[in-house]
A and B are shown apart, each in its own frame.
Chain A
């Protein structure tokens, strides 16, 4: 016998100071922000509170993008195209959706962020990336 059981719970997560600033910049300015580590100069987008490499706190945010370089991609049947993009000015890659014809895909392709028309300081304010 197989039982199908569902879970429906409304979770809600604090974005924190750095996370809030990132989302507010998306909503208000259609601007992508990254965190810059003063110790090792890594620039991470999306920004986070601690450097990925040296665990130092990172509260300094710099503007990056809206264009960038596609370094890798995959096609998930039924779910669409996803890619790793290094935004201009950043040193780490961001995983996001791609809205690009399959035949155009290639390493080092130039892509640009597309923002939602209606934005609410939530992750969906950045819809994905398309061809420059």
Chain B
């Protein structure tokens, strides 16, 4: 297996509604920007991967309408549709296509136009026998798990509010973020309306229209084309059982995220992720999830997540800055969101994070999350093959 690296990224400015463009036009914006960033032409792309969920925009085969916008017509192209993990899983598929020697340059594009459909409704249309009559959507599903997690691990609404403040202030440095609130306070978050107990509006991610793309290249091409490739040093994915009720104490235990991260850590010789990664872009649809992920990813012991956020360990000037981009909390075009995490981490390694750059970042941890407990964990680095 040969090394793969990310040599270019591109994103739209994510926002509530892009009624000025069709889906292929939105995709084209991100794809063009990624190609320009990599200094490549459409004819340099060997294959295209598209991440998007059919039911969110209610049209069959998104990769069909998207083909021209994605430069995919006449090329190998496949779609990855795995809920929130679509973007990270799509990137992982691209990494495999490069590492295996199948292709030398792959374009991965994720997109979503939530404004055109009803996402909470679409995602509830799972097993027709069991789930549809009692579906609570992403918000309801999280709210259920949050009450259980709080009771078990002692995190408070105030801890969650601190996560929101970190994210929304970080987003002010990110030109692509949908929600930027440089002056938001814990009091603001705790005064925002309760959407689903105990999750408040400012605890929750938005629904965004947006697209994001990365260009992945083989080792030879990356060395020729990029001054500082972001090397893909590990990429692991885990799926899960079909019903929310199958997963005991979901936020506290998420075995998929735990397993995937431990495989990555073992591959790279990581024994202390908090110290050994320079930056993390993790997939946190709600503030409480970020706290749970701190524990599951081994940044701290169970029950310590509140202390981590209180002490600023994951702030921009902390030991391990988490989500300098503002994270999912500040932009969530679902099919793109996982690609955004990878792109933001790649920018950190490229040293082009601008106002949101973590100085000297050489190793980045990326996670994807979807549905109830699907998880992707990816490690990027300035050196190929390890930290």
Contact = CB atoms under 8 A, between A and B. Distances in A.
Q: A and B: direct contact (Cβ < 8 Å)?
A: yes
A16 B71 contact: no
Given A5-B128, A55-B73, A14 B68 contact: no
B25 A16 contact: yes
Contact of A5 (B20, B42, B122, B132): B132
Contacts of A52: 68, 73
Given A12-B116, A16-B21, A50 B68 contact: yes
Contacts of A50: 24, 28, 68-69
A11 B68 CA distance: 22
B193 interface: no
A15 B22 contact: yes
B42 A55 contact: yes
A76 B115 CA distance: 34
A37 to B, nearest CB: 12
Nearest to A15: B22
A45 B59 CA distance: 21
Contacts of B69: 49-50
B35 to A, nearest CB: 11
Contacts of B20: 14, 16-17
A9 B117 contact: yes
Given A16-B25, A50-B24, A11 B58 contact: yes
B100 interface: no
B365 to A, nearest CB: 36
Nearest to A12: B116
Interface residues on A, range: 20 to 34
Interface string B49-88: 0000000011100000000110101000000000000000
B26 to A, nearest CB: 9
B246 interface: no
Contact of A14 (B19, B59, B73): B19
Nearest to A10: B118
Interface string A4-38: 01010111111111010000000000000000000
A16 B128 contact: no
Given A14-B20, A14-B21, A14-B113, A9 B58 contact: yes
Nearest to B22: A16
B22 A14 contact: yes
Contacts of B128: 3, 5
Interface string A73-92: 00000000000000000000
A19 B128 CA distance: 36
Interface in B104-128: 113, 115-118, 121-122, 125, 128
Given A13-B113, A14-B115, A16-B25, 16 more contacts: A3-B128, A5-B132, A9-B118, A9-B122, A14-B21, A16-B21, A17-B20, A17-B25, A19-B22, A48-B68, A49-B25, A49-B68, A50-B28, A50-B68, A50-B69, A52-B68
